[in-house]
């Protein structure tokens, strides 16, 4: 088992995070509970910023809010000097509400609605990343009408298949995202944007996937993008001032994973871009990256209370917890693997295997298959599933009408709720009863 960030095991064999015992957090705030390690989030932000600072003249690190967002998270990464990449009106207003200046927002999405674009234009977001020709036309019309000139980047598909689960590989030609270099569409999009006075083209963007553990894909992508910048300059005379290479760096979900560090990623990107720029005699562009998972993933731990335990002799032991695919859909969606520790027995040797399941009405609601646990695991124990900071809360659902858990930020022995636990009343809040259904029983 690997301990992340400020996780530790205290003298009584309890897991602590941010100097607080997991069992105390569970008692105080209830379970399931997402716990975020503030110190580790800050360290991860700084790892990117420090790596760029020593290697590149002008750069932006933008936190990809889709990994996890609430107003406190937006404020935290903003404090660390990061920009925010947002993909919806909801993420956009969350960042604004947290006090992030609009010019520090990068707005993505393959099908932004007119309502969202209107919000972005009114707020004056720093960059709108245009994903298609049709969006370029829509945005140009909307901008002209409002007499504003948004700064845009074009999302380019470099044709790279990152070594990752195919559901989350987006840089290849056959993708719903972006405008491909292949076939000349990318060049045509640049031409079109330059000829559109209503928008101000400030850069090019790409993103090749997520949970990428092999930096080779980044090297090929960075080279391809600079080659494209050179082709664009040759054909149009436009020198691209800003190159956004997206996010996607993987994290260590289990002890077997080997994840490169942000510094290793930045080294590959800066080395490649510098070499290709020199080869093409291009000035060094401002570099932008958009890490999400690698900022917040390892900083998250989900605490569950163990409930029913079902032993099928000779087959397996099922340990059911009080959450599941509603708060962590990744195992069901992507066969994602996790490790976990019994927080109140964290120092005991893990000598037998159990399968951890949730409580939604789906046989596929398996959080962890074959998790090593101590000899004893019992109802009421607190199970801490690690590395749940990214794409857990943000992908949570109300399936089976389970309220969403609270999110707590821990640091130096302090714990603060940053998202309240939902209640059953919250679940009923948007229900409406048509008059004809109020009358009572119709079948009598």
Ligand X SMILES: Cc1ncc(COP(=O)(O)O)c(C=O)c1O
Q: By C-beta, is 270 or 294 nearer to ligand X?
A: 294
Site membership for ligand X, residue 291 (CB under 6 A): yes
Site membership for ligand X, residue 294 (CB under 6 A): yes
**Which residues on neighbouring strands pair with residue 84, listed in sequence order?**
63, 105
Q: By C-beta, is 15 or 106 nearer to ligand X?
A: 106
For the question of residue 361 being annotated catalytic, the response is: yes
**Catalytic pick from 45, 206, 277, 361?**
361
- Residue 83 CB neighbours (<10 A): 22
Kindly state the smallest distance separating residue 114's Cβ from ligand X, in Å: 21
CA distances from 63 to 56, 68, 226, 274 (A): 18, 10, 23, 24
Kindly state the smallest distance separating residue 46's Cβ from ligand X, in Å: 16
* Near ligand X in 29-68, by CB under 6 A: 64, 66-67
Kindly state the smallest distance separating residue 158's Cβ from ligand X, in Å: 13
Residue nearest to ligand X according to CB distances in the complex: 292
Place of tokens 């405008």: 179
Site membership for ligand X, residue 132 (CB under 6 A): no
Q: Which helix (H) or strand (E) holds 78?
A: helix 71-79
Q: In whole angstroms, what is the distance from residue 302 CA to residue 27 CA?
A: 14
Q: By C-beta, is 294 or 386 nearer to ligand X?
A: 294
Q: In whole angstroms, what is the distance from residue 329 CA to residue 396 CA?
A: 7
Site membership for ligand X, residue 80 (CB under 6 A): no
| Backbone φ and ψ of 201, nearest 5° | -75, 115
Kindly state the smallest distance separating residue 289's Cβ from ligand X, in Å: 8
β-pairing verdict for 127-130 and 151-157: parallel
CA distances from 77 to 17, 61, 73, 293 (A): 20, 10, 6, 13
Q: Distance from CA of residue 338 to its chain's centroid?
A: 16
Q: By C-beta, is 221 or 355 nearer to ligand X?
A: 221
The edge-to-edge listing of strands for the beta sheet with 8-9 is: 8-9, 15-17, 20-21
Q: In whole angstroms, what is the distance from residue 150 CA to residue 201 CA?
A: 8
Kindly state the smallest distance separating residue 143's Cβ from ligand X, in Å: 22
Site membership for ligand X, residue 298 (CB under 6 A): no
With CB under 6 A as the contact rule, which of the stretches 88-96, 272-280, 286-294, 417-425 interacts with ligand X?
Answer: 286-294
Among 171, 186, 203, 246, indicate the residue that binds ligand X (CB under 6 A).
246
Kindly state the smallest distance separating residue 398's Cβ from ligand X, in Å: 23
Among 112, 192, 207, 224, indicate the residue that binds ligand X (CB under 6 A).
207
Site membership for ligand X, residue 109 (CB under 6 A): no
Q: In whole angstroms, what is the distance from residue 419 CA to residue 417 CA?
A: 6
Q: Which residues are at the interface with ligand X (CB under 6 A)?
A: 64, 66-67, 85, 108, 207, 210, 246-249, 290-294, 390
- Which residues are the active-site residues? 361
């Amino acid at each position: 088992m690997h301990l992340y960030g400020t996780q530790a095991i205290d003298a009584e064999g309890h897991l602590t995070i941010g100097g607080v015992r997991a069992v105390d957090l569970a008692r105080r705030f209830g379970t399931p509970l997402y716990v975020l390690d503030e110190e580790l989030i800050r360290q991860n932000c700084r790892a990117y910023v420090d790596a760029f600072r020593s290697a590149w003249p002008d750069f932006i690190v933008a936190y990809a809010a889709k990994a996890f967002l609430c107003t406190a998270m937006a404020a935290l990464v903003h404090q660390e000097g990061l920009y925010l990449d947002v993909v919806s009106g909801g993420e956009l207003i969350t960042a604004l509400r947290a006090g992030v200046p609009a010019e520090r927002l990068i707005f993505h999405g393959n099908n932004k609605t007119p309502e969202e674009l209107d919000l972005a234009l009114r707020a004056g977001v720093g960059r709108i990343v245009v994903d298609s020709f049709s969006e370029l036309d829509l945005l140009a019309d909307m901008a002209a009408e409002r007499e504003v000139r948004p700064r845009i980047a074009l999302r380019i598909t470099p044709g790279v298949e990152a070594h990752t689960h195919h559901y989350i590989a987006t840089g290849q030609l056959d993708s719903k995202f972006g405008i491909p270099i292949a076939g000349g569409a990318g060049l045509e999009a640049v031409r079109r944007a330059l000829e559109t006075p209503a928008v101000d083209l400030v850069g090019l963007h790409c993103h090749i996937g997520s949970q990428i553990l092999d930096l080779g894909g980044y090297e090929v992508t960075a080279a391809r993008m600079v080659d494209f910048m050179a082709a664009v300059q040759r054909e149009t005379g436009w020198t691209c001032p800003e190159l956004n290479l997206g996010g996607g760096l993987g994290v260590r979900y289990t002890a077997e994973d080997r994840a490169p560090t942000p510094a290793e990623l930045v080294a590959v990107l800066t080395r490649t871009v510098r070499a290709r720029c020199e080869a093409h005699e291009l000035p060094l562009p401002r570099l932008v990256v958009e890490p999400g998972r690698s900022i917040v993933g390892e900083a998250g731990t989900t605490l569950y209370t163990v409930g029913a335990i079902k032993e099928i002799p000779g087959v397996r032991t099922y340990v059911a917890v009080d959450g599941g695919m509603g708060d962590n859909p990744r195992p069901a969606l992507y066969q994602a693997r996790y490790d976990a520790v019994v927080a109140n027995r964290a120092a005991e040797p893990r000598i037998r295997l159990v399968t951890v399941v949730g409580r939604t009405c789906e046989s596929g609601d398996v959080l962890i298959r074959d998790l090593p646990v101590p000899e004893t695991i019992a109802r009421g124990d607190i199970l801490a599933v690690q590395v749940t900071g990214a794409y857990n809360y943000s992908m949570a659902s109300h399936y089976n009408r389970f309220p969403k858990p609270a999110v707590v930020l821990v640091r130096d022995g302090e714990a603060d709720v940053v998202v309240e636990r939902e209640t059953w009343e919250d679940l009923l809040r948007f229900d409406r009863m048509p008059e004809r259904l109020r009358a009572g029983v119709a079948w009598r």
